[in-house]
Structure 1
Amino acid sequence: MIPAPPLVCPDPGQDLGPATFASRLARHGDLPAVLTDAAALSYRELAERVDATAALLGPVRRLVLLAARNDLDSLVAYLAALSSGHPLILVPADKPGSIESIMAAYRPDVIVRSGEGSGPAVEELRPGTLHQLHPDLALLLSTSGSTGSPKLVRLSHANLQSNADSIAEYLGIRSADRAATTLPMSYCYGLSVINSHLSRGAALVLTDLSVVDPCFWDLFAARGATSFAAVPYTFELLDRVGFSGMDLPHLRYVTQAGGRLAPEQVREFSRLGRRRGWDLFVMYGATEATARMAYLPPELAETTPETIGIPVPGGAFRIDPVPGLEDGELVYTGPNVMLGYAEGPEDLSAGRTVTELRTGDLARQHPTGIYEIVGRRSRFVKVVGLRVDLGQVERILDGLGVSGACAGSDDGLVVAVEGDHDERLLGKVLAQSVGLPRTSVDVHAMEGLPRLGSGKVDYPAILELAAERAAPAPTEDAAASLPAEGPGDVRRIFAEQLENDDVTDDSTFVTLGGDSLSYVAVSVRLEKALGNLPADWHVRTVRDLMNPGTPPRQRRGRFFAPLETGIVLRALAIVFIVSTHVGLFSWQGTAHVLMAVAGFNFARFQLAGERLPRLRRQLRSLGRVVVPSVVFIGVAYLLTDRYSIANVLLLNAIIGPEEVTTQWHFWFVEVLVYILAAAAALLAVPWADRAERRFPWAFPLVLTGVGLLERFELVDPEVPNTGPVLWLFALGWAVARSRGLLQRVAVTALTVLTVPGFFDNPNREATLVAGVLLLIWLPSIPVPARLHRFAGLLAASSLYAYLAHWLVYPLLVDVSPALAVAASLAAGVAYWALSMRVMAALRRWKRPRPGKRPRVSGPPPVPCRVQGSLWRGPGSRCHRC
C-alpha cells in the first residue's frame, strides 16, 4: 500500500476566510510573481494592483462575473475578487454565448473584463447586490471545463486553498519554480496551476500562446519556465512541434489531466522525461473537487501507466459496490470537495450540501494501493478536456427537429440520426453547439436508430459505428522512385492514383472510388508525403489529411514495424501461389485466403455512402478487375493455344470444360468477378441496402450461410467450375464488420467449424484457417521495416502477377524455378504499373477540355444559405457542405 503524504487541511465544514494565496500576496515581497513577454511583476507589485482593483469592486459583497483571458488584467481581477470576498463566476472571454447564458441565468452585479493591459475594466450593473450570498461562497465554475451551462460548481475559499496546498505538496512546488500557463484560467485545471504556484511564492509565465507556436517556446526558455500543464490533446501537439528534441534545461516536470492519456503515451513521455531530466505527473480530478483528486507518482508511470495513482494529500478514496457490475463506483472525500451545485441565483445562499464526491467512474484498487478507472456510470464524456453531456447533444438534435441519439468516449462523440440528413453539416452544427473541434463529432445518418429488445436505444451499437469507418494502420509500398512529396501534394496523389481529377478538399479515398486495388498505392504515397497515416485515413477528407489534427509519428530506428495484415496476406499469397505453380515449393490454400481478404476489403471500401453512389463506386472497382484481366487474357489467347474465347469473356467457369485444363487458370479472377457483380446487384436493391445498413454484421453472416449451403453441397447452383467460395468472401466481409470480442469469437468459431473437410487436405485447410484468424485478430503484423515497400509492391500488384505468371513462368521454369518466380512477380509489377498509367491517361482523355463547361441539368444554382457556395435545390448539397 502506498500512503499519501500527510497534509493538514481545513475541516470540510469550516471555511477560514479569503484564500491566503490571494489575500496575502505581499508576504512574498520582491519574488517574481508574473512574467510575460514584455514585463515582470513582483509579488509586492502584484499585491498593489490587486488591492487597487478590489477597491473598484467596492466594500459591499457582490456577485462578480469575470470574462477571463490568460493575461495580467484577468489575473489581477480574479485575485481581487477572492481577496476582498466577492463571489466570482469565472467564464472564458472568447465565448460570448457562454457569457450571455450565465448572465441571463445569474444576473451578476458586476462584470469585469480585461482592459487589454490598461487594468481590469469594471462594469457596475448595480451599486449593491440582488443576491443572498453565503459567507463561504468564493468561486463558481462550469463543470469540468464545459461552458454555457447554468449548472455551476460552488467552491469555497477553503476548497481553493486546500487543493492549492495539496497540489503544491505532491509536486514539490517551491518559490524558484515558474509555471507556463498552457491552459485557460477559466478551466479548473488551468486555474489550479495559478493557485498552487501563488500559494508557494512561485512565478507564473503568463501567456495565451499555444504549444504549437514557436513564440511560446521562446518565451518558455527566456523566462526559465520549470513546468507546464497538458491535456491529452496537448501531447499530440507536442509530437508535432518536436518537443522531444527541445533544449529546456529548466524544465522540472510536466503535469497531465483533463482526460485519460493512453497508457503507451504515458510510458513514452515518462521515458522521455527520465532521459531529459524532468518528471511526468499524471493526475485525475474534477471541478467538483476544485481540481485534483489523485496523482500518479512519476516513478510508477512506466510500470502502471493505466492507473490514476493515489489520492492527493488530505484526500481519500473508497469504492462503493454497483449492483450488477463487477467494479464499483469511486467516491472521493477531502477538504477540496465542493460546497455543492448551483443551478440558479437562489442556490447562491446555500452552504455545504455535499461532503463527498461520487465520481460516476467505475474503479478498482490494485494490491499496491493505487487506483485504476475502468469505466463510467454517467452519460458524460471528456473530449479534448471538455466535459460533454450526451443528453444535451440529444436535446440539441431535438431542437433541430432531428431524431437521434449520442454515444461517446474520450476520443469523441458518435451521433446516430434517423433519416436522410447531411452528416457533414449536422456534425458542424453539433460541434459548434457544444464547443468541440469538428473532427470530434462523428455523425451517421441511418434508416432507424439501433435498439435493444426492450425498445431502448442501443448506445454501445452507436458507439461501434465509429469503428466501422476505421481501418488498420496503413503502410508503405513501392513508391521509392517517386519524388519527395509533402502534405500539399495530397490532392494530386489522390488524383493520380485514382485517375480522378474531381478531387476537392472534401473528397475522401472512399468517395473518390478507392478500393483494395488502389489502397496500397495511395497509402504509400501518402505515407511518404505525411510521414505516417491515421488508421482511418481512407475516410478522412483531403483537407484533414493536408492539415492533420493528430500529428504523424515517424517510425525510425526500428527493425520491425507493423504492417497491415491484409497487405501481408496478399503479398505472401501471391508468392506462395506462383511458387506452387512453378514447383519451387508447394504451399496450397492461399488463393482461398485471398478470397476472404477480397470480402474483407469489399466491406471496408465499397460500403460507404448512399445506395446509388456506392453502386457506381462498386461498378468502377469491378471494372478495375475486369478490364486488365480481359486485356491480358485476350493477349494470352492470341499468343497461345491454351485458352478459349470463354476465358477472354471470363465465362469459362460457367461454360468451360468440367475437366481440369489450362482453361481453368483464371478461375480465381472469374469467380471474384461473379461475386463482386452479384454483391453490387444485391445491394442495389433498396430493401437489401437497408438491411445491410441496419444489420452490418448479421447481413454478411446470412450470405455466409447461403454460401455454406453450396460448400456442404446442400444446394447445387449448376455452375460447374465456380467452386463453393462465396462463403469465404462473405466470411471476410463479416470479419470486417465484426465489432467487439463476442462478434470476433463468433466469426472465429464459424471459421474453425466450417473449413475442415473443405479440401480433404489438412495442411491446406490449416493455411486457410490461419489466414482468416489473422484477419480477425491481428490488424497488423510486425514485419522488418526494410521489407515494407517490397511487401506493399507485391500486394498492390497481386492480381496482375496472378495473371502474368501463367505466361511468364513456362519460359523460365526449366532454367531456374526461382528465376521463374522472380520473373513472374516482376512481370506482374510491370503490368500493374502500365495499367495504372493507361487508366490514368484514359481518364484524362475523357475529361472535358479546358474552357468547355459540361451541361448540367436541373434548376440553376443559387447561393448555399450555409456556406455561400453553389446549391441546386432541396436534396442537393453544395460542394462545401
Structure 2
Amino acid sequence: MRASVGVPFARGLRVFGDRLATVGADGSTLTYRQLADRVDQAVTRLGPTRRLVMILGAAELSDDPEPLVVYLAALAAGHPVLLVGPDDEQARELTAVYRPDVVLARAPEGWRMREHHTGPTRDLHPDLALLLSTSGSTGSAKLVRLSADGVQANAEAIASYLDIRDSDRAPVQLPIHYCYGLSVVNSNLARGAGLLLPEGSVTAERFWTMFREWGATSLHGVPYTFDLLRRIGFEDMDLPLLRYVTQAGGALAPQRIRELARLGRCRGWRFFAMYGQTEATARMAYLPPDLAMTRPESIGRPIPGGSFEIVPDPDQPSQGELVYRGPNVMMGYAENAADLAAGRTVEALTTGDIARRAPDGLYEIVGRASRFVKLFGLRIDLDRTERILAERGLSAACVGTDEQLTVLVTAPGTDQAAAVLATRLRLPPAHVRVLAVEAIPRRPNGKIDYPAVRAWADAHPSGAETSGAHPSGPPAALSPAATSVVRARFARILGHADVPDDATFVGLCGDSLTYVRMSLEIERVLGHLPTAWPTMPVAELERLAAQRDGYTRRPGRRRARGRDGGGTLPARTTGTGTGLIRTVEVNVVLRAVAVVLIVANHVGLFHLLGGAHLLLVVAGWSFARFCLTPGGPGGTGRGAATSRRILRAAGRIAVPSMLWLAWRAARASDVGLSNVALIDNYLRRGVPGYWFVEVLVQVLVLLAALFAIPSVRRWEQRNGFVFALVLLGLALLVNIPTDGVGTFPSAFYVTHGAAWFFMLGWLACRATGTAGRLTVLGIAAATVPGYFGNPTRETVVLVGLAALMFVPRVPLPGAVVALAGGIAGASLYTYLTHYAVYEIALPSLGPLPVLLLCLAIGTGTAAAAERARLSRPRAEHLAAALWRGAVRVGERTARGRRWAVAPPLRAASVGSLAGPILLGQPLTHAFGRLNRPG
C-alpha cells in the first residue's frame, strides 16, 4: 500500500538550495541541496514498496548525519519510521514485536542499512508516518502512532510561534528519538534553518566552541539541562547571536522560569517554556516570553492550530482534566504489529493532567488525573511499574512526584527491584528510592493503601533503603544501598568519597594522569566509550551501565528471535574481552607510544627521537580538555578557581617527582637539589634527563598565575582558539633567543624553548571543524620541520599531532588496549624510574629486556601505588609502592622468570632502586597533602 503523501518539509528540502543544512562535530557540512541528494539516495535504497523502517541509536548524530538522512528519506517517501534510542533491551523488544522491514544501525565501519523482515508485504495505514515510544514508556513495546499531517502541522506551529528563520542555526544536543529533540529538527528544517550536531552535552567545551564558531541562534533543554547551565556559568556567557531559548520535557520551577526570562531580557534573547507530550507529536502549549516574568506558573496558551478543553471535576468545577485537540494529535497507540494498519482512534487527547483556565486565558496545571509521574521528560506509569516488579516476583507499591519515584518493596527484594527499575525505567538511580518493608500497607478490601505508602515515603526523605515491621509502625534502621559500579570507579580513581549524581570526571578534578585509567574503566563497564564521557554526569553513565548490565545478564542475549526470525539484532562487535576489538582514544595510544620511544632511545634499542616532545603536545591537549573545561570547577570565568585547579594538576606531577628525586639525590652524586626543586633545566647542576617534568611543572605554574586573573579566564572562555593561538605565538617569540643546538641547555629542553609544543597541543584541542584542524596542522608544518634538525624526530611530533585531531579513536584488540592503557597510565612513574633502572640493568641485560624491565617497573609501581592509595595517604604509599614494585620485578628477573639472560641481575640491585625514597615520614606527609584532590 502506498502512502497518499509524505511529510512536506522532508520532501521540500531542495527548495532551500545552498543554505547550510547541517554541521557535524568535526566541522563537516551539508547544504540543503546536498542533504536533499543524500535523502534521494536513501529513498532509492528503501525502494518503492512501503515498509517499516527502524533507526537504532538515533541519538548519535555528531559524527555522521546518516540517521537523520534515513529519517528524512522515510518521511519523504511515505515509509513509517520508528526511532529507537541506545537502550538495547527496548530495541530487542520493539524489534521482536513490530518486525521492521529495514534496520539502520551502527556497525564498526559506520552506519549500515540492512534488510530485516523478509515476509509478505505488511499492511501499513496510509497516514502513518512516525512511531515513537510513549511519554510513559516504562520498558513496554507501546508506541505512539503519528500521521504525516500531524508531524508537518506540529513542525509548522512550533516554527511559527518561535519565529524560526532560514538564517537560524540550532544545536541538536537532545536525542532525536525523544519527541522534544525531534521537534527541534523538524521545525528548523521546515524553515530552512541550519542544524548543528555537537559532540557532548552543554557542559562540554567543544559544545560551546561549536556554538560560537557556527553562530548558534537558539538553545534547547529539559529542566536538568538548565541545572547544568547554571553550574557552568551560563549567566556569564557572551552569546551575541543567541535569539531564543526553549524548555520542555517536564515542569520547570516558576522561580527558575522567571530567572531565565529576566536573564534573556538582559542578554537580548527570548525564553519559551513549553508544554507537550509525545501523543501530541511534541508541543501543545507555550508560555509567551513577555508573560514568563509575570505568569511563570502557567503553561501558557495552545500552539497555533490547537485548542484546550477542561472536563470539569464534579467536586471542583473550576478545574478538571485537560483535553487537547489539534491536527498534531496522535492517530492512536500501537501495542503490536497489527495496530500499524489501524486508522485514527483518537480525536482528542486526554492529557492526564488536572488544569484550570485563569481569567487571563492562560492554563495552569494543578495536578494529575491518574497514577503517572513525569521525571526527566518520561511519563512513568506507576501501575505498570508495579506490574513490572510483580513479573519478577516482587510485591511492590509505587508513588512519586515529578522529582522522584519511590517504591516500597517487601524485603529482601530491594537490590533486585533497584536493578530492574534502573534497567527498565532508564532513570538516574538517585531519583529512584527503594524502601524495604515486611508488608505492603493495604486497605480492608485488599487494595494498596497509597496514602499510607506516600506517608511512609514522606517520612523517609533520605532515599535510603528501609526495613521495618510495617509502614504503620516505626521504621527500623536503614541499610546502605549497593554502590554502583560506575560511582565506585569514580570514587576510587579520583579519590572522592562522595560522588553526587551530577558529578562529572572534569568536575571532580580529573586530569591527564587519571584520564587514562578512568576511560578504560568506563569502556570496560559500558562496553563502549561515549565521546563526551568526561563531561557526562555520573547518573547518565550509570543509566547506560544499567542498560548494558540488564542486557548482558539476560540468557541468550545476543539474539532475540521470534519464530519467523524477526527480532534478531546485530551482535556487538566491541567488548571488554581480550579477544574482542575495543576502541581506545588516540591520546592514550600516543602517550604509551611516546613513553616506549623515550625509554627505547635511552636504553639504546633504537634511535627514534621525539617521544618527549610528543608527550608535551599531548599534555597541552589534556590541559585544555580538563583544566579549562566548563564542566569543572572554575570553568565558568572564575579565575582563582581555575588557577587552583591548574596548581592541583601541577602538584600531582611534582609531588611524586620530587619525592623520587629527593631519594636519588641522597643516593647519587649526580642528582642535585636543583633536580629536586624541578629547576635544573635552567641551573644545570644535576642530571639533565628530567627536563620534561621540569618543563611541564613550570609551564603549569606559570599558567596558574596567569589564570588567577579573572579577565584572562573570561577571555579564554569566550575565545578559546584565539587565546591558545596568541599563547602559541608568544611561546614561539620567547623561543627565538634560545640555543638551537641539541645539547643541554638548548631550546629543546628549557621551558621558554619547549613550551610552544605544549601550546601547540592546547591549540589543537581548541580547533573545531576540518578548517580549524587544518589550520593548526598548517601552523605545525611551518614551525616543526627544521626545528630539531632531525626529520624523523619532527615527523614523530607532526604525525602524533595529526592523529590527535583527525583520529579520535583507534580500534585495537582488547589485549593491546589493556597493554597500552597500562603503559600510558604509568607514564609518569616509568619516566621517573627508568633512568635509575637502566643504569643498573643495562650492563647485565640487553636493550630489549631492559626496556621491558623499565616498563614493568613503571606499570607495576603505578598499579601498586593505586592499590595503596585506597587505604593510606598517597605520598606515603607511593614510596612503599615504588619499593615493592621494584623488588618484585627485580626478584623475578633474577630468577629468570621473565627472560633467560646471563649474567643474571642481582635482585638486590634492582630492589634497591626505590626503597630509600621513604626518607622519613615527615617529607611524605608534607607532600601528601598537596597531592590529594580538592
For residue 81 of structure 1, what is the aligned residue in structure 2?
Answer: 74
The amino acid across from 1:229 in the alignment is: H
Q: 1:102 to 1:360 in 2, by over 3 A?
A: same
Give how far 1:279 is off: 1.2
Give how far 1:276 is off: 1.4
- Cα distance in 2 for partners of 1:468, 1:548 equals 27
For residue 60 of structure 1, what is the aligned residue in structure 2?
Answer: 49
For residue 280 of structure 2, what is the aligned residue in structure 1?
Answer: 289
**Superposition pairs for residues 722-761 of structure 1, below 5 Å?**
none
| 8 Å contact kept, 1:62–1:87 | yes
* Residue number among 242, 245, 248 corresponding to 1:254 in the alignment: 245
**Superposition pairs for residues 416-431 of structure 1, below 5 Å?**
416-422=408-414, 426-431=417-422
| 8 Å contact kept, 2:394–2:417 | no
| 8 Å contact kept, 1:170–1:313 | yes
The amino acid across from 1:191 in the alignment is: L
Is 1:31 equivalent to 2:23 in the alignment? no
Give how far 1:81 is off: 0.8
Q: 1:552 to 1:388 in 2, by over 3 A?
A: farther
* Residue number among 6, 22, 40 corresponding to 1:18 in the alignment: 6
* Residue number among 342, 349, 360 corresponding to 1:368 in the alignment: 360
Give how far 1:466 is off: 3.8
The amino acid across from 2:246 in the alignment is: T
For residue 803 of structure 1, what is the aligned residue in structure 2?
Answer: none
Give how far 1:144 is off: 1.7
Is 1:221 equivalent to 2:209 in the alignment? no
For residue 47 of structure 1, what is the aligned residue in structure 2?
Answer: 36
Q: 1:252 to 1:114 in 2, by over 3 A?
A: farther
Q: 1:334 to 1:131 in 2, by over 3 A?
A: same
After the TM superposition, which of the residue ranges 226-235 and 396-405 deviates more from structure 2? Answer: 396-405
Give how far 1:90 is off: 1.1
For residue 69 of structure 1, what is the aligned residue in structure 2?
Answer: 59
Which string of whole-angstrom CA distances, capped at 9 and with x for unpartnered residues, describes residues 256-280 of structure 1? Answer: 1111111111111111111111111
**Superposition pairs for residues 471-510 of structure 1, below 5 Å?**
505=497
- Cα distance in 2 for partners of 1:228, 1:117 equals 32
- Cα distance in 1 for partners of 2:417, 2:139 equals 20
| 8 Å contact kept, 1:74–1:114 | no
* Residue number among 288, 291, 304 corresponding to 1:300 in the alignment: 291
Give how far 1:366 is off: 0.5
- Cα distance in 2 for partners of 1:354, 1:218 equals 45
Normalising by structure 1, what TM-score?
0.51
| 8 Å contact kept, 2:100–2:117 | no
| 8 Å contact kept, 2:247–2:274 | yes
Give how far 1:468 is off: 2.6
- Cα distance in 1 for partners of 2:233, 2:69 equals 34
- Cα distance in 2 for partners of 1:59, 1:165 equals 28
Is 1:99 equivalent to 2:91 in the alignment? yes
- Of structures 1 and 2, the larger Rg is shown by 1
- Cα distance in 1 for partners of 2:381, 2:372 equals 5
For residue 445 of structure 1, what is the aligned residue in structure 2?
Answer: 436
- Cα distance in 1 for partners of 2:453, 2:223 equals 24
| 8 Å contact kept, 1:270–1:279 | yes
* Residue number among 400, 425, 437 corresponding to 1:434 in the alignment: 425
The amino acid across from 1:403 in the alignment is: S
- Cα distance in 2 for partners of 1:455, 1:264 equals 42
For residue 333 of structure 2, what is the aligned residue in structure 1?
Answer: 341
- Cα distance in 2 for partners of 1:397, 1:18 equals 41
Q: 1:453 to 1:304 in 2, by over 3 A?
A: farther
Which string of whole-angstrom CA distances, capped at 9 and with x for unpartnered residues, describes residues 300-345 of structure 1? Answer: 1111111100000000001012344452110110110111111111
- Cα distance in 1 for partners of 2:268, 2:338 equals 51
Q: SS in structure 2 opposite 1:264?
A: helix
Q: SS in structure 1 opposite 2:385?
A: helix
Q: SS in structure 1 opposite 2:130?
A: strand
Give how far 1:346 is off: 0.9
The amino acid across from 1:162 in the alignment is: A
The amino acid across from 1:319 in the alignment is: I
Which string of whole-angstrom CA distances, capped at 9 and with x for unpartnered residues, describes residues 391-429 of structure 1? Answer: 222122212322111111110211011234446x63243
| 8 Å contact kept, 2:138–2:385 | no
Q: SS in structure 1 opposite 2:135?
A: helix
The amino acid across from 1:81 in the alignment is: A
Q: 1:552 to 1:49 in 2, by over 3 A?
A: closer
- Cα distance in 1 for partners of 2:393, 2:295 equals 47
Q: SS in structure 1 opposite 2:379?
A: strand
| 8 Å contact kept, 1:131–1:345 | no
Give how far 1:51 is off: 0.5
**Superposition pairs for residues 799-814 of structure 1, below 5 Å?**
none
Q: SS in structure 1 opposite 2:191?
A: coil
For residue 134 of structure 2, what is the aligned residue in structure 1?
Answer: 143
| 8 Å contact kept, 1:70–1:208 | no
Give how far 1:448 is off: 2.4
- Cα distance in 1 for partners of 2:82, 2:537 equals 36
* Residue number among 401, 414, 431 corresponding to 1:409 in the alignment: 401
For residue 400 of structure 1, what is the aligned residue in structure 2?
Answer: 392
Normalising by structure 2, what TM-score?
0.48
Q: SS in structure 2 opposite 1:189?
A: helix
The amino acid across from 2:11 in the alignment is: S
- Cα distance in 2 for partners of 1:303, 1:373 equals 16
Which string of whole-angstrom CA distances, capped at 9 and with x for unpartnered residues, describes residues 592-626 of structure 1? Answer: xxxxxxxxxxxxxxxxxxxxxxxxxxxxxxxxxxx
| 8 Å contact kept, 1:270–1:302 | yes
Q: SS in structure 2 opposite 1:59?
A: coil
User: How large is the RMSD of aligned CA atoms in angstroms?
Assistant: 3.3
The amino acid across from 2:271 in the alignment is: L
| 8 Å contact kept, 2:199–2:206 | no
Q: Which runs of 5+ in 2 are unaligned?
A: 464-486, 501-508, 510-535, 541-630, 635-879, 881-934
Give how far 1:185 is off: 0.3
Q: 1:301 to 1:116 in 2, by over 3 A?
A: farther
The amino acid across from 1:19 in the alignment is: V
| 8 Å contact kept, 1:153–1:341 | yes
Is 1:315 equivalent to 2:306 in the alignment? yes
Q: Which runs of 5+ in 1 are unaligned?
A: 1-14, 473-489, 495-502, 509-528, 530-545, 555-850, 852-881
Give how far 1:548 is off: 8.3
Q: SS in structure 2 opposite 1:144?
A: coil
Q: 1:144 to 1:547 in 2, by over 3 A?
A: closer
Is 1:110 equivalent to 2:102 in the alignment? yes
**Superposition pairs for residues 615-626 of structure 1, below 5 Å?**
none
| 8 Å contact kept, 2:285–2:299 | yes
- Cα distance in 2 for partners of 1:189, 1:229 equals 9
Which string of whole-angstrom CA distances, capped at 9 and with x for unpartnered residues, describes residues 477-509 of structure 1? Answer: xxxxxxxxxxxxx99xx9xxxxxxxx995899x
Give how far 1:42 is off: 0.3
Give how far 1:450 is off: 2.9
Q: 1:506 to 1:256 in 2, by over 3 A?
A: closer
| 8 Å contact kept, 1:19–1:161 | yes
**Superposition pairs for residues 638-653 of structure 1, below 5 Å?**
none
Give how far 1:461 is off: 3.4
| 8 Å contact kept, 1:62–1:128 | no
Which string of whole-angstrom CA distances, capped at 9 and with x for unpartnered residues, describes residues 156-211 of structure 1? Answer: 11000000000000000000111111210001111010000000000110135211
Give how far 1:63 is off: 1.1
For residue 605 of structure 1, what is the aligned residue in structure 2?
Answer: none
For residue 816 of structure 1, what is the aligned residue in structure 2?
Answer: none
Q: How many residues align?
A: 479
| 8 Å contact kept, 2:54–2:102 | yes
Q: 1:547 to 1:196 in 2, by over 3 A?
A: closer
